[in-house]
Structure 1
Amino acid sequence: MGDFRSVGGFVDKSKFKKRPRYSVVLHDVREKLDISLNTYVVIDSIHKLSTSDPRYPYCIMSKDDLADFLQLGRATVFRSLQEAEKKGLIARGERGVVATDKWIKSVEIYEIKKR
């Protein structure tokens, strides 16, 4: 999986300028979207990184850095990106990657049904 540049058992923070602090996995949403746990955390990381600065609303972390940060294999990250794009959960642009409205509505927003 490569060199994780660990320091005291943790990933070397100096390697990444910005990185997400956490991922909360909503398993019912993951199951509904029919995606793997790895794909979920990859999309969640992209979403957090692309919304961290309104002046630059894209995730620009490289696939290799994302793999190192999440401690996933490079091929796993590539498969997760392909799965996410195929399901319409991320969109690639000239400047980076973003989570789509489909992801945001599935994970961040829910409706309360009136009785």
Structure 2
Amino acid sequence: MVGDYRFPKSVRLTGHEAFGPVIRRGGFAADQILVVHALPHAGSGSRFGVTIPKRTGNAVVRNRWKRHIREAIRHCRSEAAEGYDFVIRPKKDAPLDGRQIRQGLPKLLRRAVKRYAAGK
């Protein structure tokens, strides 16, 4: 089965003003590695934002985190709920494990949407 593994600008959250409401008002879910925030939006399709705090490490480490998370998004984008904005970030002191990120992200996306629907 061939999927669409692109990550175009139309499915990205960009700018500080797009991340804030999702983090403040959205439902969230977490595992040992990632935290995912979800908030519905008026448009169609899902949008994803990745934020890596400076406490995660130096620029090399932060970029490595971004690459792994974006790759996981590319593979599970079709499974995400339509009409939601998602913000994904690593937990403090979490180990960087690409395989666990790819396996855990789809579950976290579903749990964050359920938590929002249930009132957080």
Question: What TM-score results when the alignment is normalised by the length of structure 1?
Answer: 0.35
Whichever structure has more strand as a proportion of its residues is 2
Higher gyration radius (CA): 1
Instruction: Identify which of structures 1 and 2 has the higher relative contact order when contacts are C-alpha pairs closer than 8 Å and 6+ apart.
Output: 2
Question: What TM-score results when the alignment is normalised by the length of structure 2?
Answer: 0.34
